[in-house]
Amino acid sequence: GAGVSQSPRYKVAKRGQDVALRCDPISGHVSLFWYQQALGQGPEFLTYFQNEAQLDKSGLPSDRFFAERPEGSVSTLKIQRTQQEDSAVYLCASSSGQGLSYNEQFFGPGTRLTVL
Amino acid sequence: SQKIEQNSEALNIQEGKTATLTCNYTNYSPAYLQWYRQDPGRGPVFLLLIRENEKEKRKERLKVTFDTTLKQSLFHITASQPADSATYLCALDTGGFKTIFGAGTRLFVKA
């Protein structure tokens, strides 16, 4: 497919479990973003990669959140010891530009995480 | 801190009318502003970008205005259709890698 894909689409975790969310960006896109979207809210920035380099992680809410993009394509967002407040939709977006926020971002469908 | 406000109440309009959505922001002077559409269960889709030195931008039935004095953008959909029903998000640049999104306004277009 030509778009951004994310997996799994839905994830239910028990409190305290670790989860890993995957993002496949559009091929060749340099920039990759992760966002967290709570119900009824807009996406909130978590982190930004330019190729394999994580240039901004200022939005990660705690040290339980970790993201990587080791080969500059697929990215994984990991949440350790999940808590109920982590329940949200996690969106991934990619862009052909080098991350400046005027570049159009292409979003994936998101992963809906529910922590029980 | 930077804040974006969009109409929290849903906007209900009749098919064929013009929908107007508002985005107000404070404590920031963005160089540009974007509008996205989001359908339930999907990620946002980019619609339009307008720069600070542009007063108005059009794309088919869409029109965006940007008033940096009022710190406001208006988003218009003319000749609205039921298929335009969705949530519309306003987003601001921060001069770096981070884009700040508003909470969005839900639009319902009745046939």
Residue among A57, A91, A23, A15 nearest B36 (CA): A91
- Whether A107 sits inside 8 A of B44 (CB atoms) is yes
pLDDT of residue A89: 98
Interface mutation target, options A45, A102, A112, chain B, most CBs of B under 10 Å: A102
Question: Contact B45/A107, CB-based, under 8 Å?
Answer: yes
B102 contacts A102? CB cut-off 8 A: no
Model confidence over A74-114: pLDDT tens digits? 999 999 999 999 999 999 999 987 766 567 899 999 999 99
Min Cα distance A30 → chain B (Å) is 13
- Going by C-alpha positions, the residue among B57, B44, B55, B33 that lies closest to residue B88 is B44
> Chain A residues with CB inside 8 Å of B45's CB?
107
What confidence tier does A1 reach under pLDDT thresholds 50, 70, 90? low
